[in-house]
Amino acid sequence: MGYDGIELALKTPDEIDPREIKVTLRENGLQCPAITTGQVFSDLDLYFTNPSLRKRKKVIRMFRAFIDDARFLDAMVNIGRVRGFIQEGETCQETKELFLNTLVPIEEHAREHGVTLILEPVNRYESNFVNNLDEAAELITEAHSPCLKLMPDLFHMNIEEASLERSLMRHKDLIAYVHLADSNRHAPGMGHLDFRSVIETLKRMNYQGWSSVEILPFPDPDTAALTAINYLRILPNDL
């Protein structure tokens, strides 16, 4: 289809054999830029700020294993909705402290193995904790971690940011990975986002990282993937 890499969306680390994946990638001239972890939250109800210590410990073990896979594949590990949310009766500061405490052993393991963790802001309709790039950047600063970076997703940004371009530029030094999707979460070009402007902004930032297409499989996965890559390849810069 013309892609350079493929992102892995995993529910558990043992869903894959990273050695087999690496062989398949090499045989097809591909790389794996990132492992995303949304299903850990949505399917398993596990997250960094879970009030249950037992479940938080399970998250830590799971993310250490994700990091082991990512190290073997030379990939990053995403922290999206799995970071958790503000529970009823809990303050944002209490949630933040719980997140940071859970992050410590995960971050240590990532730093030890040279793996980058990427924090993804999620819009207010899907989470009440870390909705925009400013909030994510503040949390990254508080974490004092050289391996924790920022992962903008254009779909979420379209809801939360006053200007996609200004927000990207403001946090250019923290951005390590970008999710591309149009305003309706369909393939780029099927909504109202100005991708030409976004890509030109990434050029001005001298962004050298990966950009991955995370979209709804409409009308089917192959058609969606082809629509996205065909649209992106005709824009002025090859990401």
3-state secondary structure of 67: helix
- Residues of the chain with pLDDT > 90, as a percent, come to 97
Digit-coded pLDDT (tens) for 154-175: 999 999 999 999 999 999 999 9
Give the pLDDT band (50/70/90) at residue 234.
confident
- What's the rounded Cα separation, in Å, for the pair 156 and 106? 25
Tokens of 28: 């097809």
The string of pLDDT tens digits covering residues 118-134 is: 999 999 999 999 999 99
* CA end-to-end span of the chain: 16
- For the annotated catalytic residues, the residue numbers are 120, 214
- Assess contact for 153 and 144: CB atoms under 8 A: no
pLDDT value of position 158: 98
pLDDT interval class at 235 (50, 70, 90): confident
**Domain chopping of the chain, boundaries:** 1-150, 152-239
Taking the C-alpha atoms of residue 68 and residue 123, their distance in angstroms, rounded to an integer, is 29
Q: Taking the model in full, what pTM does it have?
A: 0.95
Q: Among positive and negative, which fits the CA dihedral 19, 103, 159, 197?
A: negative
Q: In this structure, which topology does domain 1-150 adopt according to CATH?
A: TIM Barrel (3.20.20)
